Structure 1
C-alpha cells in the first residue's frame, strides 16, 4: 500500500526532493543534494526505491549520482562514461532510464551508455556512433544531446531515443543498429522544400503511452505529434493547442489516451506560457481534443518556462501531475490536473521532475 510520494527535482544547483503523504496536500522539501552539481535528470526505480541523478557540465564533467536511502546519502561514479581516445569528451549526462534490467544514460555530445550494475560502471553502446547520418547531425540550442530515452517494457531490445537536433532514432537489437524514425515531422528551419528530412528534426521530448509500447508522443520544436506504429509515421495532434512549440510532455500512468503538456511561445516570443497565463493542457483522446487546466495556476504576469524533462505524473489514483519552472517553482495536482497548488518556489532552475511512490 502506498505510504508517501517523492517528487524528484533536478536543478542547476543540485537535486531536491519534495515529499508528501498520499493525500498530496502538504509537502516538505529536502536538499540540495549532490554537492550542488547541475543535475539534468533525477529518476528512481519504482521497485527498489533507488534514486539516480544525471549530472555534470563542461566544468564538472559527467557523472551519475546514486542514493539507496531515499535521498539521505549519495555517491557518484563516472567509470566508463567516456568515448574512445581521440573522440570528443563527454560534457554531461543528460537523461536516464531504468528498464530491461539495466540503467541507460544519454549524454552530450549525443551517445548512449548502459550500466548493468546499478550505475557503478558504464559501457558505451557504440552502434549509434556508427550511424551513417552521424557526421551530419547538428546541435540544438543546448548542444548535441541525447535527452529522451524510451524503453519497451516487454522487449529488451527495443529502444527509442530523441536527439537535438538529429531527430528520433530506433533500435530493435539493443543498440547494435539504428534507424531514423521522423516521417511526418516538420523541420521548419530547413530550406524550402526540405522541411521533412529523414533526420535533422529538433525533437524536444519523447514519451510512451502506458500499456501501448508502439504509441509514442513527441513534442517537437515544430509541432506536437503522435505515432501508433513505433515512430514509423507521425501525425500532427497540435490542433486545439495555443502553440506548436514546447518542451515537456507527461503520459498518464494508466490511460494511453491521456497526455499532459505545457505549450510555450516560440523562439521569437520568449519561450514562456502563452499570454503569460499558466496552463497545463490535457487530452483524454490521444490528442484529438485539448483542454486547458488553469485552476490554481498564476494567470497574471506568469512569464514562466518549463524545460523538457520538468513534468511528470505519479501512479496513484487519481494520478498526480507535477511540473517545475525555469524560475524555480514547483506545481502539483492531486486530481489529474483539475486543480493545482504551488509546492515550492525560489529554487534554482528546475531541469527535471520525476516521481517515486513509496509503499509502506
Structure 2
C-alpha cells in the first residue's frame, strides 16, 4: 500500500500541512486552513486518516476543525465546548488526543477537559477533572491556565494523563470519573523552600509516553526534566548533562522507549531562546542518563527563536524522522533520528504544534 507522510502544523494563522512520500526527500506545503483562525494543535487519526485541528481565541471562541480528505476540505464545531453560565468562558482549544476506543479529548483554556464520541461534532465536559477538589489551587502560568498535554493509554481507553499549567499532571483510570494528581518528585523552584514539592501547583510543560511502555513517561517541566517508570506516581530528574533545566517540547522515539528528543531553551527569565543562540536538539538513548547535542544543519549563530510546548514530533517510519517548529515560523526536520537537519519551511506564522500522520495515498 502506498503511503503519504503528512506533517501537521498548528500556527497563529491557521493550520498547514507538509506532504511527502516515505523517502522524505521533497515536501509540498499546503495551507493556511481553518480560515486562518489561531490553531493550537493539529492531530491525525492513524485509523481513519481524519485530521483534527483545535484552536480559537477570546474573539472567535473555541472550536475543533475536521478534515476527512487530507486537508482539502474542513468543517468545524464548538457544540458543547462551554462552561456553565457564570464561569469564565472558554477561550480556545489547546490540545487534542484520540483514545483507544476512537473517542476524542480536547483540553481547553481556562484549564478543563471535554470528550467527543461522534468525531468532534459535539462535546461533553469531563466533570471529574473540571471540578477537581484541588482546582482552587490551579493558577495561570505565563501563558495562562491551560490544559495543554493529553497522553492516552494506547490500548485502555479509560486511562489518560493530562498536563495543566500551572497545576501539574493528573491521571484517570476510570474514563475520567476520578483523577489523581501525579506530581511527586517534580520541583516548584518558584515556591518557598518548604513548599518545593507540593501535591499540585507544578508548571508542567509537556508529557510524552515511551513506545511500548505505557508506564514510562517523560516530562519537561518549568523546573527540570523528568522520567517516570510507574505512570507518574514518582518522577526522577534526568536533567544532568543538559545545557538548561528549562524548555517546552519533548518527543519520544516511535520504536525505542529509551530514546527521547528535547529542545532546551536558555532559561525562563533569560530570553527563552536557544542556549548561546546556537540551535540544537538534544537526544538521549539511555532514558536520560546521558545526552548528546545534535546540531548539523541547524543555525549556529543568531538563533534567538524559541520552540513551544507542542511544536516537536517524530514520525513512525523505520528510521524515525524528527521535526520541530519555531516561534519565528521555521520548520526543521531530520530523516535520520537527529543526526542531520534541514529547513523544510520558512516565514510561516508562529508554529504552535507539530504532529505527523502516515495515511494511505
TM range (shorter): over 0.9
Shift of residue 2, structure 1, vs aligned partner: 4.9
Q: Is the 8 A contact 1:40 1:95 kept in 2?
A: yes
User: Which whole-Å deviations, capped at 9, do the CAs of 1:8-52 have from their partners, x for residues lacking one?
Assistant: 000000000111111112111100000100000000001111000
Cα distance in 2 for partners of 1:298, 1:227 equals 33
Cα distance in 2 for partners of 1:130, 1:322 equals 36
Q: Is the 8 A contact 1:253 1:319 kept in 2?
A: yes
Q: Is the 8 A contact 1:265 1:273 kept in 2?
A: yes
Q: Is the 8 A contact 1:150 1:160 kept in 2?
A: yes
- Correspondence for 2:66: 66
- Correspondence for 1:103: 104
User: Which whole-Å deviations, capped at 9, do the CAs of 1:212-267 have from their partners, x for residues lacking one?
Assistant: 11000000000000000000000000011000000000001111111000000112
- Correspondence for 1:293: 294
- Correspondence for 1:82: 82
Q: Counterparts in 2 of 1:122-141, with a 5 A limit?
A: 122-141=123-142
- Correspondence for 2:224: 223
Q: Is the 8 A contact 1:2 1:357 kept in 2?
A: no
Cα distance in 1 for partners of 2:142, 2:234 equals 26
User: Which whole-Å deviations, capped at 9, do the CAs of 1:263-315 have from their partners, x for residues lacking one?
Assistant: 00112210001001100001111111111011111101111100000000000
- Correspondence for 1:36: 36
Q: Does 1:92 align with 2:92?
A: yes
User: Which whole-Å deviations, capped at 9, do the CAs of 1:32-87 have from their partners, x for residues lacking one?
Assistant: 00010000000000111100000101111000000001001100000011112222
User: Which whole-Å deviations, capped at 9, do the CAs of 1:89-122 have from their partners, x for residues lacking one?
Assistant: 1110000001222010000111110100110010
TM normalised by structure 2 equals 0.98
Shift of residue 196, structure 1, vs aligned partner: 0.7
- Correspondence for 1:169: 170
TM normalised by structure 1 equals 0.99
Name the SS for the 2:154 alignment partner: coil
Q: Is the 8 A contact 2:258 2:285 kept in 1?
A: yes
Q: Counterparts in 2 of 1:204-223, with a 5 A limit?
A: 204-223=205-224
- Correspondence for 1:235: 236
Q: Is the 8 A contact 2:137 2:200 kept in 1?
A: no
Q: Does 1:179 align with 2:180?
A: yes
Q: Is the 8 A contact 1:185 1:201 kept in 2?
A: yes
Q: Is the 8 A contact 2:105 2:115 kept in 1?
A: yes
Name the SS for the 2:269 alignment partner: helix
> What 5-or-longer segments of structure 1 have no aligned partner?
none
User: Which whole-Å deviations, capped at 9, do the CAs of 1:324-357 have from their partners, x for residues lacking one?
Assistant: 0000000011111110110000000000000011
Cα distance in 1 for partners of 2:149, 2:323 equals 18
Shift of residue 129, structure 1, vs aligned partner: 2.4
Q: Is the 8 A contact 1:264 1:271 kept in 2?
A: yes
- Correspondence for 2:306: 305
- Correspondence for 1:201: 202
> What 5-or-longer segments of structure 2 have no aligned partner?
none
Name the SS for the 1:268 alignment partner: coil
Q: Is the 8 A contact 1:271 1:305 kept in 2?
A: yes
